[in-house]
Amino acid sequence: MKNLKRITFDPNVMGGKPTIRGLRVTVGMIVGLIAAGHDNQEILKAYPYLEEADIREALAYAAWRVEEVELPLVGA
């Protein structure tokens, strides 16, 4: 996915899971909060260092990953 400015990957932060701007907040956590019924304002109140654009990009990244198809390597 192109133009990811807020999603970062670092093996030293949260085991390399996709995080928001290198913080200890994973894309999965954001998606889980939304799925549990929390709205953006509740999330931003609970995590004041996040921005609304962080939530939007986390959801966009998650949607992209769900649609991505992984093919097995053949022969080796």
CATH of the domain at 18: 1.10.10.10
CA-CA distances (angstroms) from residue 61 to 2, 41, 57, 66? Answer: 10, 20, 6, 9
Count of positions (residues) in the chain: 76
Range of the domain at 51: 7-64
Residue 19 CB coordination number (10 Å): 24
Half-sphere exposure of 73 (CA within 13 A, CB side): 2
The model's pTM is 0.83
Q: Is residue 35 part of a domain?
A: yes
pLDDT over 60 at 76, yes or no = no
Domain count along the chain: 1
Q: Is residue 29 part of a domain?
A: yes
In whole angstroms, give the CA distance from residue 46 to residue 59.
Answer: 18
pLDDT over 80 at 70, yes or no = no
pLDDT tens digit string along 9-58?
A: 999 999 999 999 999 999 999 999 999 999 999 999 999 999 999 999 99
Mean pLDDT (whole number) for 64-73: 81
Predicted local distance difference test score (pLDDT) of residue 1: 60
What are the phi and psi torsion angles at 26 (to 5°)? -90, 160
Q: Is residue 44 part of a domain?
A: yes
